[in-house]
Chain A
Amino acid sequence: MTTLPKIFLSIYLVCNGLNPLMAVNVIIMNKDEHFKIKSLKKATYTRTVSMLVNNKEGLNNAILKINYSPFITLKHFEAKVTEAGTDKPKKYRLKDLEDHSYFGFESGFHSDIRFKSFVPEIKNFPAIVKYSYTIELKGFYTITPWIPVPDFEVSLIHAVYEITCPENYAFKTKYFQFNGNPQTEHIKKGLKRIVFRLNNFEALKKEPDAPHPDELFPIVIFASEKFYFDKYAGETKTWNEIAAFNQRLLQFNEIALSPETRRDIGLLKNQYPDQKELLSKLYSYFQNRTRYISIQLGIGGYKPMSPRLVDTYGYGDCKALSFYFKTIMDEAGIPSYYTLIYGGNHPFKLSEDFPFMGSFNHVVLFGIIQTDTLLIECTSQKDALGSISSFTANRSALLIDGKTATIVNTPMLPEPVINNNIRINIDSNNKALINFKSSGNELYQDICQMNAGDRKKYLKTLEVFEKINIADIECNAGIEKTIQLHGFIKNYAIHIDKDLLIPIFPNPVPVLASEMKRTMPFECSSDQNTNDTLVIVIPAGFRLNELLKGYKLRSKFGEYQCNFKESENSIIIIRYFKSKKSTFNASEYTDYVAFSKNINAFEKKKITLIKEIN
């Protein structure tokens, strides 16, 4: 029997110019992808991969999830898995794949996309996994992007991506961390081939606070200039053409609103002549009669349900609800624009020279009130009109005005300033009784909308409150977004002999970074601007031994300051901490660790009270 000993891995790496000391989960020996366009209505995508899976952690990279739908068919699949200690590969065919709907996978209420999954059964590592599959596309928006290295701790020996298409098929290309030159050749009359290659990519080690993988791994994306999908043909050379296509999807052969809805809007319009006030009333009206349900059917989920259906059923996804509210605003005479956006972390930055259909996953509205513009999120039944969250703030979006597109920037979130006022009384059992008032955190708005039980649970997940046993919470979701809680921490103070030792803070600044050898840039976690005023009431019979000295620290990573003063029977501590989200080089990490450690070391100190002797 032949086996795959660990030494094989080292030899293989050395022979391919890679560092054998680097512990990798997977080595992709060969990855061959081929996107073959026969016409706008027909293409195939084939992927053939052979990889060495070194351990259990690497298994995820061998697991496949292949989506299919009425427009995508999985035509062929085969795989072979050879484990350490065996010479007989286990073979898999198309029939061995498990078929799933997205039910139970948190994909919303319903989607017509399903998937087939391949999970290789590997018990003994390392193992060689080879697979190949082909999908057939009956129409497509653009060419599948090329992501040769899928993950951290994955080395790659050789990858090739080949696009075969008619001579006149045009597309734009955008490179991320890739500087190879694609080769273009004419293979036969009317056909061309474009080939991208990547060799010997050394695995990237996963490090905390690293930039998003899209900023680290080589990626090539393609934006086709023409497309055909589900009976829709169109051009996407420019953002205007993308707008025109989306505009076509918003055409419906029915009256958009029921007579009752039109009557209600009319009544509101008469009642509230001021547009701002009218919009606010319309938004409440809309929120009270709709709810968000994600149903993604047809045309790749691009076409919304009609406003008439939303009007009738009272639900829809982001497209449907946004277009429905736009219809309501139109009826009321308030201009608004259907706007494509990317919701969530790490949005794709839109650029004029790269119109790309795959830039978006969400729809909002831009409303115009007199001279003000307002971003309107239509999927929440609770948020206030115009409220903005990190989901859609501070990014570019595509505003559609008929057949014209405009790239707009969504508002920045105001810099959060969190103010905490804390009062602590120590009881005779060393328990800290805490009265904690906090304002300015964006999260408090959501917390205020929770019931008492959920609030408590949620607050316990936040570092700032995690140590506190919360007894009760009061909430104010107004502009200040304030919460006030009463609670306690058992064994907070340490009673030793005649001394009573009290930690400085019940909510210390968390450890920002820990020592490690850094190879990658890092992101300073988040924007923080926190002011704490803490009053520790000195228990009867004790006096302060010595007032701790204040501490001040300023660096490119942020500012920290903490001062103490004694006032009557209490100690007042004022702390200020500010940090700014930004990216730093790996070489700056040591300084960042020192910054974190210094704060941490200071905050570990305790205040000593001494028992008074009568």
Chain B
Amino acid sequence: MKKLFTLLLFLSICIHTLLGGNSKKEKFGKIPLELLTMTVYEKDSNAHAVVIFEIAEYKVKYTENKGLICHIQQHLRIKILDKEGLGYGSFEIPAGKKDKLFGIKGITANYNPITKSVQNIPYDTKTLIIDHVNDYFDVYKIAFPQVKSESVLDLLFEQEIDNINYLPTWHFQHKIPAIISEITLKKPENIKYTLHVGGLLTILEEQGPSTYERVWMGNGNNATYKQDEYKYLIKDIRAFKTEPFIGCETDNMSLLDFERVNVHLPSTGEQFKELTWPLVSKLLMESEHFGDQMKFFRFVKSELELLKPKFKDSIQFANLILAHVKDKVKWNEKFRMLTTKDLDEVYEEGIGNSAEMNLLLYSFLKTADYPVYPFLLSTSDHGRIKSFSPTLDKFNHVIVLWMNKDGMKMMDATSKNAPVGILPRYDRNYLGLVVGDNMGMLLEPAQLNNRKTTVYNFTLTPEGKITGTITHLYDEERALYKRDELSDSMELEMKRKIRNRFEEAEIKNYTVSNLKEINEKLIEKIEISIPDVMEKSGSGYLFQPVLFNPLKENPLEENTRNYPIQFPIIHHDQMIITITLPINIVLLKAPENKYFYTEDKGMEYKYLFSESENILQFQIDQKFNKTFFDPSEYKALQLMFDKIVEMDNQYLIFSFKK
């Protein structure tokens, strides 16, 4: 039943002429009869409800008492289409603690079959629930009255926001389809916003007529200022439906963010500045929660001396510093791009957010004369940074970039198991920003090979039993991920996985090498014997060489794809299988070698087989050479996975020599 319509962005209102000036103003509570009798939304017959329109106005204005505020009005109309859609009869509207939400009006319109007319039931504001969720925001909960499976709901509300620097995000797209979604921004001409566009749908944009507004300044004075107007509209918006390998959902949902750039204040003479990446860097360098924390700290110098640098400017010493910072300060699991405390305090308390930990790491490295810079990121679940859309608001994390003669290396003190040059998965999100004096450039952290090699070395007995070893070698970020996964119960876990596949498997020995040596490859070795791996069938015996984790199903099974396909990292899975056969067994038919790839070799798959006397050898390579595939490449990828399913699940057939 948790299908409430959460207005993650809230907005506005009274209806204006739509683009081109040919659409009509919708009156609150005036519901056309044909909307009530509609039972299916033709453009999406699976929809349980549809947004008829969602129209908002953000008006940033000067006020006598509060200075600049944003007044928001929003009008939303939803049609319920069946009983599954009844959950859309309740709304949850978040609002900042300092923001006011008022003027709530609601109507449930139902069809009266006796009079064949519309019956409007007003929302009773006495039933409004305000949930004080935490110190930062409340949620206004609105349950519409008498909602039925054919109802139409009309909701109107206003909001006043103090902080005009970041206006609420406008989501054009929801889990249900929408016919019209429109946002109008009105603002004094000297206040500029950068627009961040999300999703793939085309937003129609139009500049409206400017007007002049008057504001009382006190003492009988008033001032006039010019108000600009912009409209943004999408029609016929499909319901947002997630897809496999979609990355961060908010990167794909159509939305609009407004980030204030700066203000031209005639009184101070400050000039408007376009938000650029160098400006973002400059603003951070001037911040007491960022740049001011990059200063020299006496305690850092004395602690460094204790570390007794033997390999100055070396990767070994950088690793030593990184380990020292991780040892001294625990991450509080919060991603932040700004500090909340001075770094000496953080060091003393031994706990800090991601900015505090990594700016501390920066200070240590800088004091040790490493050419390092803070590197600003948006984590992988937080949406991507777009090069064409400079922002300060969209970052949530900072790590450290070391530029040396051999190139660049990144490091992140929040990851327990990541050495210098290796990044945890949450740091992999395309672009980040190098911050520093005269900096402000975007970079994508270099991708590594990230190889996982699995070596099966098996001997097959005449009784159909396999004995031998399985060795997994994890390199670079694959090693980090695996180390993060491993726990005290890793042996039990591994045994459970193997026994899920082969119940009778006997695991004789299990070792993990280099678990703590985070700069080294992680090696997992299993000595195993499995009885009855061959199935008697017809005239021969069947054996599946990809014994463990064959890809059973194509993960891309849908016929169509709306959004790009994204993988977190470039990676290479290699499997080398060696099987020594008993002398009385012969392979009836050798499998064919195969090599498949997508047009640009973004993905490759190679299957090589060789046979020498009684030894069979397979080498299977699966490579993802890029992380981002356009929807137009979907079919090719789908085909690749189809072939992998086929190859992974193929059997060899043996017969016994007589």
Contacts and interface: CB of A to CB of B under 8 A. Distances in A.
A302 B143 CA distance: 21
Contacts of A605: 535
B146 A289 contact: yes
Given A451-B46, A496-B653, A514-B500, A313 B146 contact: yes
A499 B83 CA distance: 52
Given A110-B131, A451-B84, A608-B538, A55 B146 contact: no
Given A103-B139, A109-B90, A289-B146, A499 B133 contact: no
B139 A293 contact: no
B330 A123 contact: yes
A597 interface: yes
Contacts of B92: 103
Contact of A110 (B129, B147, B538, B552): B129
A574 to B, nearest CB: 22
Interface string A344-383: 0000000000000000000000000000000000000110
A103 B131 contact: yes
Q: How large is the interface on A (under 10, 10 to 19, 20 to 34, 35 or more residues)?
A: 35 or more
B129 A295 contact: yes
Nearest to B148: A288
B537 A606 contact: yes
Contacts of A55: 487-488
A3 to B, nearest CB: 13
Contacts of B642: 490
A135 to B, nearest CB: 20
B653 A497 contact: yes
Interface in A382-421: 382
B487 A56 contact: yes
Contacts of A198: none
Interface string A487-506: 00011001011010100000
A589 to B, nearest CB: 14
Interface in A595-614: 597, 600, 604-606, 608, 610
A381 B645 CA distance: 43
B223 interface: no
A104 B133 CA distance: 9
B49 to A, nearest CB: 12
A98, A294, A499, A600: which has the most chain B beta carbons within 10 Å? Answer: A499
B124 interface: yes
Contact of A314 (B1, B147, B499, B554): B147
A209 interface: no
Nearest to B351: A121
B131 A99 contact: no
A65 B450 CA distance: 41
Contacts of A56: 487
DSSP majority for the B interface?
A: loop
Nearest to A85: B327
A580 interface: no
B185 to A, nearest CB: 29
Contacts of B308: none
Contacts of B500: 514
Interface in B85-129: 86, 89-90, 92, 124, 127, 129
Interface in A440-472: 449-454, 467, 469
A222 interface: no
B537 A101 contact: no
Given A453-B46, A610-B538, A496 B589 contact: yes
A270 interface: no
A271 interface: no
A293 B147 CA distance: 12
Contacts of A494: 542, 651
Interface in B248-305: none
B537 A514 contact: no
A557 interface: no
B429 interface: no
A138 interface: no
A432 to B, nearest CB: 14
A444 to B, nearest CB: 17
Contacts of A511: 503
A454 B134 CA distance: 35
A499 B46 contact: no
A291 interface: yes
B290 to A, nearest CB: 24
A106 interface: yes
Contacts of A496: 537-538, 540, 542, 588-589, 651, 653
B2, B84, B127, B143: which has the most chain A beta carbons within 10 Å? Answer: B143
A515 interface: yes
B633 interface: no
A490 B538 CA distance: 22
A344 B55 CA distance: 42
Contact of A604 (B135, B535, B553, B653): B535
Contacts of A515: 499, 503
B2 A106 contact: yes
A315 interface: yes
Given A315-B143, A315-B147, A451-B48, A99 B646 contact: no
A169 interface: no
B367 interface: no
Nearest to B86: A291
B489 interface: yes
Given A55-B488, A496-B653, A597 B503 contact: yes
A584 interface: no
A48 B606 CA distance: 61
A545 B131 contact: no
B598 interface: no
A100 interface: yes
A68 interface: no
Interface in B115-163: 124, 127, 129, 131-135, 139, 141, 143, 145-149
B205 interface: no
B589 A497 contact: yes
15 contacts: A103-B133, A109-B4, A121-B330, A121-B332, A288-B149, A289-B148, A291-B147, A294-B1, A313-B143, A381-B83, A451-B45, A451-B84, A467-B553, A600-B503, A605-B535
Given A293-B90, A454-B46, 17 more contacts: A98-B134, A121-B330, A291-B86, A291-B89, A292-B1, A293-B143, A315-B143, A315-B147, A381-B83, A449-B84, A451-B46, A469-B557, A496-B651, A497-B540, A497-B589, A600-B503, A608-B538
Interface of A: 23, 55-57, 90, 98-101, 103-104, 106, 109-110, 121, 123, 288-289, 291-295, 312-315, 381-382, 449-454, 467, 469, 490-491, 494, 496-497, 499, 501, 511, 514-515, 545, 597, 600, 604-606, 608, 610
What are the 4 A-B residue pairs with the smallest beta carbon separation, nearest first?
A608-B538, A314-B146, A499-B538, A451-B46
Interface of B: 1-2, 4, 45-46, 48, 83-84, 86, 89-90, 92, 124, 127, 129, 131-135, 139, 141, 143, 145-149, 330, 332, 351, 416, 487-489, 499-500, 503, 535, 537-540, 542, 552-554, 557, 588-589, 642, 645-646, 649, 651, 653
